[in-house]
A and B are shown apart, each in its own frame.
Chain A
Amino acid sequence: MPEDPVVMYPLVIGGGEVVDANGRRRADVAIATDGTIAAVGDGLAAARTLDASGCVVMPGLVDLHAHLREPGGEDAETIASGGRCAVRGGYTGIVAMPNTTPTVDSAAVVRQVLDAGRDAACEVVTAAAITVGRAGETLSPMGELADLGVRLFTDDGTGVQDGRLMRRALEYGRGLGVTLAQHCEDAALAAGGHLHEGEWSARLGIAGQPAEAEELMVQRDLALARLTGARMHFQHLSTARSVAMVRAAKAEGLPVTAEATPHHLVLTHACCAGFDPVFKVNPPLRTDADVAAVRAGLLDGTIDVVATDHAPHPPQAKERPFDLAPPGMLGLEVALAVIHSELGAELGIEGIVAAMSVRPARIAAMAHQGRPVEAGEVANLCVFDPEVTWEVSAEDTMSRSRNNPWAGRTLTGRVRHTIVAGCPVVEDGSCVRD
């Protein structure tokens, strides 16, 4: 008597626990040759199996805030190297920030970034600048760029200082159905400040920037969101009062979203005590009370998204004195492990999936990211071992840079495999893509 024909899938992620927006279940995930999920269930047979025992199989992470430095800053990072960092950290989709040289403010540069992104290890889309050259003076050709697929506009690195111009950008963007994102920083109040103005700036004798430099622009932009009815995303919120203002705005019903970085959820300005510019970042690391408030904001949903603000700088740039070094720190490779180690107990894997995959995918309008782990969906997956402990090393990186503030820390949980559009790009923690 002939046996029933057994379906052999080309690839199965076997033995893990699937977690997505629909909850948790033990299941194997089979991948079809076209890169979609063919089946989710028990005992799926495959030509090749990736072991996920003890692991969580979740939708691949999405980063709303990655500085890939290309074009212009290829000594620090490229779209290819940044993409490899991303997949090693479990990301399957990332949004490139437009503060490159030249700025991503024209169709030509958008095309250049998207072209390079097509060869990257994960899906790369780009944000574009709100104003030409991020100079805060004239609007970029937002409609033309939206036609090329840009869904997020930001002058990140600086905030749009002119309230009238920001109002126009929000109104115009609303008509295009795009989202404007703001790096909230009042340039005049923040000018010359290299860390949070407070106890540590005073002790170390380094000019600080007050929390109010961020808060003033959060306040203004909430007013403009109310005025225009436009969707508005607040980048890397870092102060207690910023979180409180966004919480109140959401309660009022304004269509705003917000992100926080792993470093603002964990590290404080006391990290700067040794003058190591690896801890220099913008907005600066703040106080214990601010960290507590940002964490509370993430837990109660005021902060929708954890975004990395991955900001590579080559070693020599950080081998300067604190005030002369550029701000920014790496994040893509460790963000998930940091959040799981620090906030896993409170957020749960479900909360992490929401904040690091589902919601950022929605804000970035990435159709095939942050989706349920179900048959028919594009197989963008992160397989995460929540138990393993490991020590972060600045040298063990896919980045061209080494400015990793987490180096030397022991974290719990690490990405085992990453699948992008059905292809394993990370296996057993190692990137298998050029």
Chain B
Amino acid sequence: MKHLLDVADLGGRDGIEDILTLTDRFVEVSNRPIPKVPALRGRTVAWLFYENSSRTRLSFETAAKRLSADTANFSVGVSSVNKGESLRDTARLIEAMGADAVVVRHSSSGAPHRIAEWVDAAVVNAGDGWHQHPTQALLDSYTLRRHVGALDGRRIVIVGDIKHSRVARSDVDAFTTLGAQVTLVAPPTLLPASLEGWPVTVSHDLDAVLADVDVVVVLRMQRERMTEALVPSLREYTARWGITVERAARLHPDTIVMHPGPVNRGVELDAAVADGPRSVIVDQVRNGVAVRMAVLYRLLGHAGATDEEQIDA
């Protein structure tokens, strides 16, 4: 793996399993009194966040520091995107700075892919437009494994704004690669125009599919969708597609609820459910650091040394 741009870059089931197995070790590292290993000493990881993201940024930064990597921040404002700044100029800058890896978040789908064509550094996609968010899919897969075991045959519902969601696209790729059955639930206006080639089933009726599921992944419903006539109102959205207390009560006792955050409490997910026993949202955040350590380590680890030498030192 040279870059991590899409879930597909992980190399199928074996590649995903490798990262998840490696994540176990970094969870262990994170639980040590001094949660830090020298694995990436001397490596430089640069942040290129064209879109505000305190959560993902903090998670990656913590991961890099626990691996002893140096970090550098190219603070690119949203304004420079809007000014039409050439992505290639930024890529040239990264090359000049000699970064070993660059973690890219961009509001445009495919921006990290373009950068990857122009730099020698490893590019990690930290979310591009509506397209992909592969480390989120990895941390979701890892969290699921910890809570429900192997994903083979597990029934997973992803509910919400699928169309505009990079989390949904990446989760579908990862979950189905790991053997789960995925059902997408949304009004037709919040589904992609075509689902050709997507190994999923689709429903517009949340209540019809909830009785029999192992996992519900709830997506964030953005208020700006209201202006685009995609749903009549947030009130109607919550009534039909929100995980309300009443709906949660009808779930099987073992069904877990996930959310990539940040939660619009009371819109797509009731606060009581988000903070309740089914919710694994806090675990998702915690596991995010270890998963990102595993990804950075796989991309930047020293080829000459074993995992044991680098992680357990």
Would you call B87 and A321 a contact (CB within 8 A)?
Answer: yes
User: B183 to chain A: closest CB distance in Å?
Assistant: 17
> Which residues of the other chain, B, contact A171 by a CB distance below 8 angstroms?
none
In the complex, what distance in Å separates the CA atom of A316 from the CA atom of B128?
Answer: 21
Q: What CA separation (Å) do A275 and B115 show in the bound complex?
A: 11
The residue on A at minimum CB distance from B193 is: A197
A321–B192 CB distance below 8 A: no
Q: How many Å from the CB of B303 to the closest CB on chain A?
A: 28
**Interface majority SS (helix, strand, loop, mixed), chain B:** loop
A317 to B85, CA, bound (A): 9
Instruction: From A208, A275, A317, give the contact of B110 (CB < 8 A).
Output: A275
The answer to whether B166 touches A205 (Cβ under 8 A) is yes
- Across the interface, do B193 and A198 meet the contact criterion of CB distance under 8 Å? yes
A8 at the interface (CB under 8 A from B): no
Interface residues of A in 274-325 (CB under 8 A from B): 274-276, 316-317, 319-324
A199 with B194: CB separation less than 8 A: yes
Given contacts A319-B86, A324-B81, contact A201 B193 (CB under 8 A): yes
Query: When each residue 113-148 of chain B gets 1 if its CB lies under 8 Å from chain A and 0 otherwise, what string results?
Result: 110000000000000111110000000000000000
Task: Determine the residue in chain A with the shortest Cβ distance to B114.
Answer: A275
Contact A321 B109 (CB under 8 A): yes
Contact A210 to B193, CB < 8 A, known contacts A319-B88, A321-B111: yes
Task: Identify which of B110, B166, B192 contacts A322 (C-beta below 8 A).
Answer: B110
Q: Is A407 an interface residue (CB 8 A)?
A: no
Contact partners of A276 in chain B: CB under 8 A: 114
A198: chain B residues within 8 A (beta carbon): 193-194, 196
Interface flag for B197 (CB, 8 Å): yes
Interface of chain A residues 321 through 346 with chain B (CB within 8 A): 321-324
Instruction: Name the interface residues of A190-243: CB closer than 8 Å to any CB of B.
Output: 197-199, 201-206, 208, 210
Residues of A within 8 A of B193 (CB): 197-198, 201-202, 208, 210
Instruction: Judge whether B292 is part of the interface by a CB distance below 8 angstroms.
Output: no
Q: Which of B84, B106, B131 makes the CB contact (< 8 A) with A204?
A: B131
Cβ contact within 8 Å between B87 and A202? no
Q: Given the complex, which residues of A lie within 8 Å of B110, measured CB to CB?
A: 204, 206, 275, 321-322
B residues in contact with A210, CB < 8 Å: 193
Q: Is A323 touching B108 in the complex (CB atoms < 8 A)? A: yes
Contact partner of B109 among A197, A199, A275, CB < 8 A? A275
> CA of A324 to CA of B192 in the docked complex: distance in angstroms?
20
Q: How far is the CB of A132 from chain B (nearest CB, A)?
A: 27
Give Cα distance in the complex from A210 to B194, angstroms: 11
Whole-angstrom distance between the Cβ of B88 and the nearest chain A Cβ: 4
Tell me which residues across on chain B come within 8 A of A323, comparing CB atoms: 108-109, 129
How far is it, in angstroms, between the C-alpha of A434 and the C-alpha of B174 when the chains are bound? Answer: 57
Chain B residues near A322 (CB-CB < 8 A): 108-110
Question: B114 contacts A199, CB within 8 Å?
Answer: no
Indicate if the CB atoms of B195 and A202 lie closer than 8 Å. yes
B169 within 8 A of A: yes
Q: Please state if B86 and A204 are interface contacts (CB–CB under 8 Å).
A: no
Q: In the assembled complex, how far is the CB of residue A227 from the closest CB belonging to chain B, in whole angstroms?
A: 32
Residues of chain A contacted by B196 (CB below 8 angstroms): 198-199, 202
Q: Is the CB of A204 within 8 A of B108?
A: no
Query: Chain A nearest CB: distance from B243 CB in Å?
Result: 24
Q: Quick one: which of A236-284 are within 8 Å of B by CB? A: 274-276
Q: Are B129 and A206 in contact (CB under 8 A)?
A: yes
Complex contact B197–A324 (CB within 8 A): no
Flag A58-95 by CB within 8 Å of B: 1 or 0 each. Answer: 00000000000000000000000000000000000000
- Complex contact B86–A316 (CB within 8 A): yes
Q: How far, in whole Å, are A205 and B110 apart by their CA atoms in the complex?
A: 9
**B89 CB contacts on chain A under 8 angstroms:** 316, 319
Point out the residues of chain A lying under 8 angstroms from B88, CB to CB.
Answer: 316, 319
B195 and A204 contact, CB distance less than 8 A: no
A203 to B8 Cα, complex, angstroms: 13
User: CA–CA, A249 to B246, complex, Å?
Assistant: 58
A206-B109, A210-B193 given as contacts; is B87 within 8 A of A320 (CB)?
yes
Mark out the residues of chain A between 114 and 145 whose CB falls within 8 Å of any chain B CB in the assembled complex. none
Q: Is the CB of A206 within 8 A of B130?
A: yes
Report which residue of B106, B111, B128, B192 has the largest number of chain A beta carbons within 10 angstroms of its beta carbon.
B192
Q: Kindly name the residue among A208, A274, A321 whose own CB sees the greatest number of chain B CB atoms within 10 A.
A: A321
Contact with A along B189-214 (1 / 0, CB 8 A): 00011111110000000000000000
A-B contact pairs, 13 of them (CB 8 A): A198-B194, A201-B193, A202-B194, A205-B109, A205-B130, A205-B169, A206-B129, A206-B131, A317-B84, A321-B108, A321-B111, A323-B108, A323-B129
The 9 closest A-B pairs by CB, nearest first: A275-B110, A321-B108, A205-B130, A202-B192, A205-B131, A319-B88, A321-B111, A319-B86, A205-B109
Given contacts A198-B193, A201-B192, 6 further A-B contacts (CB under 8 A): A199-B197, A202-B192, A316-B89, A320-B85, A321-B108, A323-B108
Residues of B within 8 A of A (CB): 81, 84-89, 106, 108-111, 113-114, 128-132, 166, 169, 192-198
